[in-house]
A and B are shown apart, each in its own frame.
Chain A
Amino acid sequence: QPVLTQSSSASASLGSSVKLTCSLSSGHTGYIIAWHQQQPGKAPRYLMRLEGSGTYNKGSGIPDRFSGSSSGPDRYLTISNLQSEDEADYYCETWDSNARVFGGGTKLTVL
C-alpha cells in the first residue's frame, strides 16, 4: 500500500508563490494523486488530479493560480499570487487495489 508524505506546515507571503510537496513511497513512485484543499471549518475541496508525467486536470472552478507538477516520486502543488483565502490545509490522495490513502496534510499559512 502506498504511503504519502507531506510536510506538516508551510508559509508564504500574500501575493507570492508557494510549492507544496507530496512524496510517494518506494515502489509507488509512478502513482497518480489528487490534491484537496480544506479551509478552516469547511469540508475538503478537490483541486486537481496529477499524474507522474506532470499532467494535471483541475476541478471545476479552481483558479488558474493553482497548478501541479511532478518529479520522480514527488507531486507538487504550486499556488501563485497567494490570497488570504488560500490559508488552508492541503491533502494529497491516492489509491491502490482495495485501499485509499491520504497524506498527513500541510497547513499553509499566508503571511
Chain B
Amino acid sequence: EVQLLESGGDLIQPGGSLRLSCAASGFTFSSSPMIWARQAPGEGLEWVSAINADGSATYYVASVKGRFTISRDNSMNALYLQMNSLRADDTAIYYCAKLTSSFSTHWGQGTLVTVSS
C-alpha cells in the first residue's frame, strides 16, 4: 500500500525558513516523479513544485521560484521542500503526492505551515 507521510510544518515568522519532508513507502520511490501541492485556508489546491524520478529535473510555480527548493533522497525514500523567505501567503496545508502516468494518484495527509508574526 502506498503511504506518504509529510512532516515539518510549523508556525514560522515572515522571512523565515522551513524544510518539509515526505516519507514514502509501499512503492518504488526511485522510479516515481513526485510533487508538492498546497491548500491555503478555505481555498483550492495549488501545485507548488515537481521533481522527476532521479531528481535531475525540478519545476516550480512562479510564486515560489527562487524561494523554494524541491529535492529527494532516493536512498531514504524521502522527498523534501526547502522553503525560504516565507511570506504570509505561503500559509497553507502542504501535501506531497506521487505521480503515476503524469497524475497525482496518491496523496499524503498534509502538514500545516503557518507564516505569521
Interface size class of B (residues with CB under 8 A): 20 to 34
Q: Are B107 and A43 in contact (CB under 8 A)?
A: yes
Instruction: Flag whether B106 is at the interface (Cβ < 8 A).
Output: yes
Decide yes or no whether A34 CB sits under 8 A from chain B: yes
Determine if A102 and B44 form an interchain contact, defined as CB atoms under 8 angstroms apart.
yes
Overall SS of chain B's interface:
strand
Measured in the bound complex, the distance between the Cα atoms of B37 and A4 in whole Å is 16
Residues of B in contact with A (beta carbons under 8 Å apart):
35, 37, 44-47, 50, 59, 61, 95, 97, 101-110
Contact partner of A100 (CB less than 8 A), chosen from B50, B107, B110, is: B50
Cβ of A105: which chain B residues have Cβ within 8 Å of it? Answer: 44-45
Q: Does any Cβ of B come within 8 Å of A73's Cβ? A: no
Per DSSP, are chain A's interface residues mostly helix, strand or loop, or mixed? Answer: strand
Q: Which of A9-17, A20-28, A79-87, A90-98 binds B?
A: A90-98
Please determine whether A44 and B95 come into contact, CB atoms closer than 8 angstroms. yes
Instruction: Write out the residue numbers on chain B whose beta carbons fall within 8 Å of the beta carbon of A104.
Output: 44
Contact partner of A44 among B45, B59, B61, CB < 8 A? B45
Q: Could you jot down 11 A-B contacts, CB within 8 Å?
A: A34-B104, A38-B45, A43-B108, A43-B110, A46-B104, A46-B105, A59-B105, A93-B45, A93-B103, A100-B47, A102-B37
Specify the chain A residue showing the minimal Cβ separation from B44.
A105
Of B44, B45, B102, B103, the contact of A46 (CB 8 Å cutoff): B103
Please, how many angstroms separate the alpha-carbon atoms of A1 and B34 in the complex?
20
State the CA gap A100–B107 with chains docked (Å).
Answer: 15
